[in-house]
Chain A
Amino acid sequence: RKEVEQDPGPFNVPEGATVAFNCTYSNSASQSFFWYRQDCRKEPKLLMSVYSSGNEDGRFTAQLNRASQYISLLIRDSKLSDSATYLCVPTGGFKTIFGAGTRLFVKA
């Protein structure tokens, strides 16, 4: 089983749509959880941390379910600029594993 599993997509959505990404992880020792976004041919950038209580940052909502080892990201009112690859990143210690991510295309 892969350490991080995400639907690779691509997700093609119109502007204004709501889209959700899911991720499962296998390492139950993971202690911190993040979503990163990566634009084409660019470096990953930290989007938000993920907490069990759920957290929201503008149009973005992240949720963690430790019991199910499941992380989600919800994007509301999608913008063209949201087009990117979204990486789910559970971490524990120093050997952080990044999956290939989920590709999102937002169309006008």
Chain B
Amino acid sequence: NAGVTQTPKFQVLKTGQSMTLQCAQDMNHNSMYWYRQDPGMGLRLIYYSASEGTTDKGEVPNGYNVSRLNKREFSLRLESAAPSQTSVYFCASGVAGKNPTYGYTFGSGTRLTVV
């Protein structure tokens, strides 16, 4: 099925380890996003990419880096994981600009635990 694919679905890291979360979409969307969701909380925007070749910080970018590899793929890297980064990470894509009208499609999430 067309949509947004995230890998891995689950991950346990030790403090200080690094890892990259992968996201790919096949809907030809121009914009892609990384959010994190902590228990009982709303989604918080980490980084976004308005179009291929551009990335920008969201609300909570510290401790993360991103790469928009091409139009389809947008990865999120944790260089030195900390327990505070334990969360569920969602990737999303959409057709966005001055007037986004179609909403976002989300991947199924990566559940990350840092011990």
Secondary structure of the B contact surface, majority rule = loop
Q: Is A32's CB under 8 angstroms from B45's CB?
A: no
A98 to B48, Cβ gap below 8 A?
A: no
Tell me what chain A mostly uses at the interface: helix, strand, loop, or mixed.
Answer: loop
Q: Which of A18-26, A38-46, A58-66, A67-75 contacts B (4 or more CB under 8 A)?
A: A38-46
From 11 to 54 in chain A, residues with beta carbon under 8 angstroms from any chain B beta carbon are: 31-32, 34, 36, 41-46, 49
Interface status of B96 (Cβ within 8 A of chain A): yes
Interface pair B31/A43, CB less than 8 Å apart: no
* A31 and B98 within 8 A (CB): yes
B107 & A49 in contact (Cβ 8 Å cutoff): no
CB distance from B89 to the nearest CB of A (A): 11
Contact size range, A: 20 to 34
Chain B neighbourhood of A99, CB < 8 A: 42
Tell me the nearest residue of chain A to B109, going by C-beta: A43
Q: Verify B43–A98 contact, CB threshold 8 A.
A: yes
Which residues 78-101 in B have Cβ within 8 Å of A in the complex? Answer: 88, 90, 96, 98-101
Q: Does B50 contact A (CB under 8 A)?
A: yes
Looking at A91, A94, A99, A101, the one whose CB has the most chain B CB atoms below 10 A away is A94
Which residues of A line the B interface, CB within 8 A?
Answer: 4, 31-32, 34, 36, 41-46, 49, 87, 89, 91, 93-101
